[in-house]
Structure 1
């Protein structure tokens, strides 16, 4: 099993980053909705700080994922895939990578602008790099909300496209990102 991507399959590093980020981002999105239902101030503080802590991890994993993409380029899309689908795939991936950085960065700066500290895993407060700014906090709060919804939309489109490749096109696009695949021709790439 290769650490790096091959011409036909994602390597173990890319797959681990993909699936860990998928789980983390889905958790963060679900937490974002769920936290809106909380009423106890102690629960709100605890879970908002947990959300922020996981967001910081998502930011670092997003940066690592982008760097890894340059170190180990992905396998090419199927040669017979229509040009408009290839453009859509590249656009969706670019949007995802952009949101992997923008969404947590906006959340972090929003915390600073509100004046509420980021207490990493409710243990260690991180320094604020700016003074509170109510007007900026409102803008960043709205931005975090709308980028979150955009992320939901792009993730849904990404998942739908992967399922289309598997069940309709019957190609290998989804299989090459799955954590494990049966060896082909007696070997696993």
Structure 2
């Protein structure tokens, strides 16, 4: 049994956007203040808000569509670990863009999604809060990176060591 096409598309689209947003965030953060840096920050925010929206769609989809069962031979502790990691991934994929949006709000820089839709500030301008949220955003990002690497390593183990077909549940299929 496999995930639905919608779940697969949402999974891989979110993964791709995170794969772009994370290194972009590292790169832009080190640039001197310039129009290029400001434009990259805008792109980074667009990616983050898009990830947030796609995650909400994925959570709604998941609430109405059960995940396929784990392979029959998978140990109970692995099932629990997989469920915990997935839950933490969802939590961090939600928390990272929200912390970025909160940080922008606290720093007095409005988030404008795709350059056309101004989003409301979530908090008032507050320099100290903005700095704290910047640190939180960084910590959450590294936590997400750690979990993603763990997730990928576990998928590779199932594919190449266990050979239990787990990874095939999340692959694109023809119509």
| TM-score range normalised by the length of the shorter chain | over 0.9
Most deviating of 61-70 and 121-130 = 121-130
Task: Report the counterpart of residue 122 of structure 1 in structure 2.
Answer: 115
- The 2-side partners of 1:124 and 1:43 are apart by 21
Per-residue CA deviation, residues 132-181 of structure 1 (Å, 9 max, x unaligned), is: 01121121111100000000010011011111111000011101211137
- The 2-side partners of 1:57 and 1:29 are apart by 14
Task: Report the counterpart of residue 131 of structure 2 in structure 1.
Answer: 138
Which of 54, 60, 63 is residue 70 of structure 1 equivalent to? 63
- The 1-side partners of 2:33 and 2:130 are apart by 23
Q: How does the TM-score come out when normalised to structure 1?
A: 0.87
Matches within 5 A, 1:3-42: 8-42=1-35
Q: How does the TM-score come out when normalised to structure 2?
A: 0.94
- The 1-side partners of 2:33 and 2:77 are apart by 49
Matches within 5 A, 1:1-189: 8-180=1-173
Displacement of 1:117 after TM fit? Answer: 1.7
- The 2-side partners of 1:162 and 1:180 are apart by 18
Conserved? CA contact 1:46–1:122, under 8 Å: no
Q: How many residues align?
A: 175
Most deviating of 150-159 and 116-125 = 116-125
- The 2-side partners of 1:65 and 1:125 are apart by 24
Higher helix proportion: 2
Task: Specify every segment of 5 or more residues in structure 1 that has no aligned partner in the other structure, as ranges.
Answer: 1-7, 182-187
Most deviating of 153-162 and 76-85 = 76-85
